[in-house]
Structure 1
Amino acid sequence: MSRRRKKQNHEEHIDESWLIPYADLLTLLLALFIVLFSMSSIDAKKFQALSEVFNEVFTKGTGILEYPSPISRENATVLDEQEEQDDKEKEEKRDKEIDWQELVSLQKKINTYIIDKKLNNNLDTSLTDEGLLILIRDNVLFTSGSDQVRKEDLVIAKEISDLLVLDPPRNIIISGHTDNVPINNSQFSSNWELSVMRAVNFMKIIIENDKLDPSWFSAKGFGEFKPITSNETATGKAQNRRVEILILPRN
């Protein structure tokens, strides 16, 4: 006697476990598109931070929605401040480069004047960390032991003043220097006093130029204490007796 199998009516349950990794994949793709969209405005440091987060996600298996915010407000503030500081430093560097090029151009202009006036043995220029330095031998302007610019050299002093008319203006320091031979006359008791008065008197002639503002200028005297060469020879002493004009950088 054959048995007829009874149909067993039952509902088949579909396996829906594939939805979980599919949802995670969509989440990751969404996050990826957000990152790609924001890359146009995010800086390198913030991108590096995000990169480290995603590397952590993919290597350690942490769900993207479970991961904390990659950049806290405090860190974002620090990064913004660092970015502002970097921009400021770049701007300062650019300004210094422009300033330096202006000094180079000014040096060429003064060197042309020196060549045209055949003053190569009396005037010299150099660019230093302090600025543009114009060196004037004392025998161009003064007689021995005197602080007064010679009348025949007033023309040179006034022509130099024309070279110092700058746009925009710069601060300028005029300094006097002597050799180490002691001086002791009725007017000066030391080389220091002589160097100061030479710088001051030369500066007075310079600022007679109506195009120059006296507030840009200052005078110093160093006596024999800042020689540029040895005082052991007559040539060395002559080089150390000088007046210097220092044109300062703006920054």
Structure 2
Amino acid sequence: MPANRRRRVDEGTGSGPSSPLWMTTYGDLITQILIFFVLLYSLSSIDTRKFDMAMTSLQGSLGILQGGKTYFKGDFIESGTGQNYVGEQEKTELEKIGNEIEKIIESNNLKGIRVDMDERGLMIRFLEGALFDSGKADIKEESKKVLDKIAPILKESNHHIRVEGHTDNVPIHTKEFPSNWELSTTRAVNVVRYFIEMHGIDPKKVSAAGYGEYRPIAPNDSEKNRALNRRVDIIILKSSYEKQEPN
């Protein structure tokens, strides 16, 4: 048998199954891409989230995984994973702000102020005596010093700031405040105005609301509990709640 004939026969009747040539090229390409990203990840200081998003998007575009990519405000976002990352990042940011404010409270021995995280964001709670005299809506002079200390932190934050006024259920009937609605709303507005006029906080990022007696945090069945309900809450809102604020 001629040598060239024998060579063609041997190539076509090998001991193992043959693969199309394009699969070899495709496999080499995927391997090289994987090596590239592994080296990039190990040798560089990169944003882990962006790396994961880029890998997911690349895999989708090559057909390795079903689906594709979404582009939102300059970042790749994978459904679920991206949102979780943003939520954790935002929580960490708000907790850092809370720690800064708590240090101010402790170092200045301030009373009647609490800092907590809730579902809406970071809440700074002022019980009535911390900012206002009973039945009044003018911020006390000594209390302005407290607002002066936290205002720069609020101004630096990119989040929307919501100030809410609350009262107990004891009716008020004065010329200035015919009901608890007016008292709670005026208190919230006065805090907002102080931040804007005295500290230059952007008016677009702050809002005021008065709820009167209708959002208590304790039953109005004792003086101690009623004192808890007479409060002003300053809330640094999470981005998911900022969408509810008017533009």
Q: What is the TM-score of this pair, normalised by structure 2? A: 0.69
State yes or no: 1:191 paired with 2:180. yes
Change (3 A) 1:84 1:147: closer
State yes or no: 1:182 paired with 2:171. yes
Q: Could you say which residue in structure 2 is the equivalent of 1:79?
A: 66
How many pairs are equivalent?
206
Three-state SS of the structure 2 residue aligned to 1:207 is helix
The 8 Å contact of residues 69 and 77 in structure 2, kept in 1 or not, is answered as no
- Which one of 208, 228, 244 corresponds to residue 217 of structure 2? 228
- Which one of 198, 204, 208 corresponds to residue 197 of structure 2? 208
Task: Give 2:208's aligned amino acid.
Answer: A
Shift of 1:143: 1.6
**Greater shift in the superposed pair: 151-160 or 123-132:** 151-160
Change (3 A) 1:42 1:160: closer
Equivalent residue runs for 1:156-171 within 5 Å: 156-166=146-156, 168-171=157-160
Distance 1:145 1:19 in 2: 101
Equivalent residue runs for 1:1-251 within 5 Å: 22=13, 27-28=18-19, 30=21, 33-34=24-25, 36-40=27-31, 79-81=66-68, 87-89=76-78, 90-119=81-110, 121-166=111-156, 168-250=157-239
1:35-63, Cα deviation, whole Å (9 max, x unpaired)? 532443899xxxxxxxxxxxxxxxxxxxx
Distance 2:165 2:70 in 1: 46
Shift of 1:211: 4.2
Q: What is the TM-score of this pair, normalised by structure 1? A: 0.68
**Greater shift in the superposed pair: 195-204 or 157-166:** 157-166
The 8 Å contact of residues 158 and 205 in structure 1, kept in 2 or not, is answered as no
Q: Could you say which residue in structure 2 is the equivalent of 1:3?
A: none
Three-state SS of the structure 2 residue aligned to 1:208 is helix
The 8 Å contact of residues 230 and 237 in structure 1, kept in 2 or not, is answered as yes
Task: Give 1:79's aligned amino acid.
Answer: Q
1:2-59, Cα deviation, whole Å (9 max, x unpaired)? xxxxxxxxxxxxxxxx88973895643646534532443899xxxxxxxxxxxxxxxx
1:128-173, Cα deviation, whole Å (9 max, x unpaired)? 221110000111121221111123322223223233221x522100
* Higher-Rg member (1/2): 1
Shift of 1:184: 1.6
Identical columns (%): 29
Three-state SS of the structure 1 residue aligned to 2:190 is helix
The 8 Å contact of residues 160 and 206 in structure 1, kept in 2 or not, is answered as no
Task: Give 1:133's aligned amino acid.
Answer: M
1:200-222, Cα deviation, whole Å (9 max, x unpaired)? 01211122234421221100011
Shift of 1:117: 1.6
Three-state SS of the structure 2 residue aligned to 1:176 is strand
Change (3 A) 1:116 1:187: same
Change (3 A) 1:218 1:41: farther
